[in-house]
Structure 1
Amino acid sequence: MQHAPMDLIKRCRHGLDAIRLCIQLSGHSHDFIREALSIDKGHFSRIMQGKAWFPDTKRIDLMAICGNRAPAQYDALMTGCELIELSKDARIRELEEQLASLRAAA
């Protein structure tokens, strides 16, 4: 799963825009997405029109299917946070510990 371009995330006006962006960046059709998420065609259409809510229980699945984190990035941006991949975070911690160890030995 990849981060969506931040300039596109910043253009999102609300969470639905981030969901739409997530789908658009995937290159998958709406039919493919809704079938993969087991969402009724009519309900999915209403979601995309802003007349129904996207199910919270399917947000992670949406991002996994689409291969990007646009909705999570939008949420983070709106709450003044930044997403960091855990694997990168763990690597940074490991390198900081090595650096501290080297400095202590010097």
Structure 2
Amino acid sequence: MQREMPMMAAARRPKEVEPKLLEMCRHRLDAIRLCIQLSGLSHETIAEELGLDKGHLCRILQGKAYFPDTRTIKLMELCGNIAPMQWEAQAMGYQLSADSKAQRKAELMAELAALEAA
């Protein structure tokens, strides 16, 4: 499945997950499952977009195979949340914080694109 990318639209930034939901995750796999569940996307769509076999994704989610680290960022972008990254930071005793300068720049770019479109 191919999607068109609007050239002037601001990229959608993945959002943080409620800390209460992350507290229920026992390990990284739970955070990956949470990420997928919160997206509302089907497992078939996720597997296709990540370039994984549907059966392999099923085995990953059952804990019988490992999720490829090289696809974690794409998963978070696709699902629209950063649950796996938040869980890892929390597990190491860190807390994530957004880059306010980059966030403000993205907001201004989106505002500029909206003005140009009007």
Instruction: Provide runs of 4+ in structure 1 moved above 3 Å.
Output: 88-91
Aligned-residue offset at 1:90: 8.2
Contact kept in structure 1, 2:16 and 2:83, CA below 8 Å: yes
Q: 2:25 and 2:39 mapped to 1: Cα distance?
A: 16
What's the Cα RMSD here?
Answer: 1.6
Name the larger-Rg structure.
Answer: 1
Query: Taking every aligned residue pair, what percent have the same amino acid on both sides?
Result: 55
| Structure 1 unmatched runs, 5+ | 92-106
1:51-92, Cα deviation, whole Å (9 max, x unpaired):
00000000000000000000000001100001111136887x
**TM-score of the superposed pair, with normalisation by structure 2:** 0.73
The answer to whether residue 90 in structure 2 is matched with residue 87 in structure 1 is no
Aligned-residue offset at 1:34: 0.6
Q: 1:86 to 1:53 in 2, by over 3 A?
A: same
| Aligned length, in residue pairs | 91
Q: Which residue of 1 aligns with 2:108?
A: none
AA at the equivalent of 1:56: D
1:47-86 equivalences under 5 Å are: 47-86=60-99
Q: Which has the higher helix share?
A: 1
